[in-house]
Chains A and B, each alone.
Chain A
């Protein structure tokens, strides 16, 4: 686990590349209870004006959060985590799925000694999570 004394504002977290496939969407639908058909039925997704099945915003949020939990070394160190859902991530019905690139950077030390980490997630070069950040307590 990383220690507070080893962290400075401006530090960049090791980046993550996430590959999201249809199987991941099915697994997340079951685990979260979010059974909205836009995440598993192309027919339904197109009926509501989407290009096809899209990833759950909450799945992208959860997967992207790993950049912080892995860096901190303790998932319980994440006191706060928030995102805005930007453009959707379409997930094609193939083995490649969608590739989402995640970065993170320490941007602030707060008054209580916790760290603010800004997170970005992009798909095809465009942001899919806006204003994403976490507050982390390190020993």
Chain B
């Protein structure tokens, strides 16, 4: 069943706040091999001009992955997540994600196209602080493999 085109333009309510922790940044930096002290040491981060420890450039995937749950759980969309493959991903940083940020995500469905039996769902995750300060814009394409693909 192709996805319903009328979902294009839809957005979902902001996700519950995610508080960015010091140890989570360190853990993520270790996992992607980022060795910079600005991910670990507040003094080094301040010396580099940041208010506190900052996250690596792809850290925003943590909050955008969580935010995707609203798509998976939307019965009207009918997305079969077991058939979903991550097609592409871009992060545009308005400023680095920083320790103590309380981030919420508003998910927008920017496009739905169909190609060779696969549905392509273009999603935009607007990541901001609870107070509404823009932090990161994530864009991704989710490819929903068709039954025969």
**Measuring CB to CB, which residues of chain A are less than 8 angstroms from any residue of chain B?**
18, 24, 27-28, 30-34, 48, 57-59, 61-63, 65-66, 69, 74-76, 78-85, 131, 134
Tell me the chain B residues, 27-61 only, with Cβ under 8 Å from chain A.
Answer: 27-28, 30-34, 36, 38-39, 48-50, 54, 56-58, 61
Specify which chain B residues have a CB less than 8 angstroms from the CB of A78 in the assembled complex: 57, 93
What 5 new A-B contacts, CB under 8 Å, besides A82-B88, A84-B88? A31-B30, A34-B61, A61-B58, A76-B49, A79-B93
CB closest chain-B residue, reference A60: B32
| Among A18, A27, A65, A131, contact of B56 (Cβ-Cβ < 8 Å) | A65
Q: Decide: A81 and B87 in contact? CB cutoff 8 A.
A: no
- Interface class of chain B by DSSP: mixed
Q: Decide: B89 and A82 in contact? CB cutoff 8 A.
A: yes
Q: Decide: B54 and A75 in contact? CB cutoff 8 A.
A: yes
B62 vs chain A, min Cβ distance (A): 6
Q: Decide: A80 and B91 in contact? CB cutoff 8 A.
A: yes
A–B Cβ pairs within 8 angstroms, 14 of them: A31-B30, A57-B86, A58-B86, A59-B32, A61-B89, A62-B33, A65-B32, A66-B34, A69-B34, A74-B48, A75-B96, A80-B92, A83-B89, A134-B57
**Measuring CB to CB, which residues of chain B are less than 8 angstroms from any residue of chain A?**
24, 27-28, 30-34, 36, 38-39, 48-50, 54, 56-58, 61-62, 65-66, 82, 85-93, 96, 139
Specify which chain B residues have a CB less than 8 angstroms from the CB of A84 in the assembled complex: 87-88
A18 to B82, CA, bound (A): 29
Specify which chain A residues have a CB less than 8 angstroms from the CB of B33 in the assembled complex: 18, 62-63, 66
Given contacts A69-B57, A76-B48, contact A32 B62 (CB under 8 A): yes
Q: Decide: B58 and A58 in contact? CB cutoff 8 A.
A: yes
Given contacts A69-B57, A75-B56, A76-B48, contact A62 B87 (CB under 8 A): no
Q: Decide: A33 and B88 in contact? CB cutoff 8 A.
A: no
Q: Decide: B65 and A75 in contact? CB cutoff 8 A.
A: no
Given contacts A28-B31, A76-B48, contact A62 B56 (CB under 8 A): yes
Specify which chain A residues have a CB less than 8 angstroms from the CB of B36 in the assembled complex: 69, 74-75
| Among B34, B62, B89, B92, contact of A85 (Cβ-Cβ < 8 Å) | B89
Q: Decide: B30 and A75 in contact? CB cutoff 8 A.
A: no
Q: Decide: B56 and A69 in contact? CB cutoff 8 A.
A: yes
A84 to B90, CA, bound (A): 9
Nearest first, the 8 A-B pairs at minimum CB distance are A82-B90, A62-B32, A31-B31, A84-B88, A76-B96, A62-B58, A78-B57, A28-B31
